[in-house]
Chain A
Amino acid sequence: MKLRPILGYTAAGATVLAAMLTPFLLYGFFANRFTALPLQVDEVYSGGPKVRAVQKGAYSIDIHRPVHPHFLQSEKPFVELDWTPVSALPQHVSDMVDIDGNGQPDVRVSFDVPSDPKAPMRVDVEPLNPRYQAMHNVGKERFSRLIARVDNTILVRVPLANP
């Protein structure tokens, strides 16, 4: 028997073996290798990493690193602020937030906290620093300009003004 058929049958046998090993070994092996890659979900969705937390009594405000969308992405640059836990928030929130950590407040964020977690929310953002854009009665317009409740967090994404 020639070499090529031997290699062909060997590969075919290995393929059958691979099929048998898929649920026990291969699938997990590939999934783990993929997880270990230095990849991250686009920050337009995830909001970017948290850089600081400001304690406000029973709740805290987590401040994320500003997100700058890529090339032709339709979103604008923004910064995400998280109020958590929702259960500790008053019915109406109006906080001045120092986003860049220089000791001066950058925005005043105001919103009502409905008791129904699925109720639509609206936010007002008054910029105290020209780097940030105002938002008036904004709901979920786009990923770079919204207020949303995700689990036990209310997050507000404030668009950055054009440089």
Chain B
Amino acid sequence: MATNACVPRLARPEPRSIGWSLLLTLPILVWSLLMFFHPGGATGRQSQIAAGLTALFMTALFFMMMRTGSTYRWRRWFFVSLGLLFPVGFIYNIVLARGTMGIPMEEMIAGRTPFCFIPIPLLILPAALTRTLVFPGTIADTQHGIAAMVGLWLALTLVLGRGWCSYACFFGGIEEGVAAIPARPRIRKIDPRWRYGPWAVLLAMVLLSLALFEPAYCMWLCPFKAVSEYVAARNTIGLVQNGIFILLFAGLVIALPFLTKKRTQCSFFCPFGAFQSIFNKISVFEVKIDKERCKPCQVCQNVCPNLSLSKESIAHGEVLMSCMKCGACVDACPRQAVVWHIKGTEVAWKPERARLMFLYAAWAVAIMFGGSIIAQGIATILHFIL
């Protein structure tokens, strides 16, 4: 998959003027202030400073997206910050509440296990067949309740489709950060059949969750238990489970992203990512390839962090349904043949307008959800510093 350096590079569009970029950023500034300083929002010195810093950070990144016309590298700053700061705030809060990252049985019986979005696809079949949620949490619409996360997921999925994995997932930023460290990948050749990995894991976990009546992925395979919380090891099985979490985290979230410069957990393993791909079909925003401009150089295929482009898909002018809308391929294309697109319109017809509309929607929910997590992480750090 070597890059063809002979493809003539078209001149990049001139950066937007500072004034015009500021004007386009103004709605996001107002939105940030609304999200972080609404009545009943941040209280306490550390929280207010954290809210201010986060609002400034998110607004500055959006400004740079407007100014430079580039999406991926600025979004990556947000996403990596989200991935790194989520564990900081989360672990601090649960250790404060219960003294350990391990969930004791008492907390599960009391329904106080915080619910994350990853088990959502695993709950559907048992719920549909028996009206039972196989998760030791609470349904009520409290901060960590199942209803709260399901409500948020539904709303954000309407907006983002699988863009969730680039603008809302609070785990993916860790591997994206690790993948950004090396200048070049050590492993370049990746068998495209690995793309089916997440679907296989999804199918296996859905069936296992139905058969065993437990969130099988959370119990056995989630690499991010290593940086959030896990079932407290009471016996050998518990120790094996925690060993698996650590090994998967070390392999899929640290080692392989470093070696491949890909988001390997998302690309090869994450069942939620596969599930979320389905919702790309209903999302109005997508990435397309202008076949008239494209001289298949495979730069887009090489930079895609998620193996969402293949020779065949490029020939068809499309990305695969696993596209996370991160913008890496759009930014990297030397001929601006990879474009943001609104379904129903002609390809490459005002792609910047499509990008703007997508970014306003995506950044608005990123500020609301990811921004609040970043602010919580910063507040936790400030708590130790100030």
Interface residues of A (CB under 8 A from B): 4-9, 11-13, 15-16, 18-20, 22-23, 26-35, 38-47, 69-74, 140, 143, 146, 148-151, 155
Contact = CB atoms under 8 A, between A and B. Distances in A.
Given A19-B361, A31-B147, A149-B106, A42 B134 contact: yes
Contacts of A19: 159, 360-362, 364-365
A5 B344 contact: yes
Interface stretch (B107-115, B188-196, B328-336): B107-115
A41 B132 contact: yes
B109 A46 contact: yes
A37 to B, nearest CB: 8
A72 to B, nearest CB: 5
A42 B131 CA distance: 9
B27 to A, nearest CB: 9
B102 interface: no
Interface stretch (B48-56, B72-80, B148-156, B273-281): B148-156
Nearest to A6: B344
Query: Which of A18, A42, A44 lies at the interface centre, i.e. has the most chain B CB atoms within 10 A of its CB?
Result: A42
Given A16-B361, A40-B132, A149-B106, A34 B150 contact: yes
Given A18-B159, A39-B127, 20 more contacts: A11-B284, A12-B284, A12-B285, A12-B357, A13-B357, A22-B152, A26-B154, A26-B155, A26-B158, A29-B151, A30-B152, A31-B141, A31-B152, A32-B147, A40-B132, A41-B139, A42-B135, A43-B132, A71-B211, A140-B234
Given A19-B364, A41-B136, A34 B213 contact: no
Interface of B: 31, 35, 105-106, 108-111, 126-127, 130-141, 146-148, 150-152, 154-156, 158-159, 211-214, 234, 283-285, 342-346, 349, 354, 357-358, 360-362, 364-365, 368
Given A22-B155, A26-B155, A69 B35 contact: no
B105 A143 contact: yes
A44 to B, nearest CB: 7
Contacts of A148: 105-106, 109
A26 B154 CA distance: 9
B141 A35 contact: yes
Contact of B158 (A5, A18, A71): A18
B342 A9 contact: yes
A65 to B, nearest CB: 14
A11 to B, nearest CB: 4
Given A5-B345, A31-B148, A22 B365 contact: yes
A40 B130 CA distance: 9
Nearest to A13: B357
Contacts of A149: 106
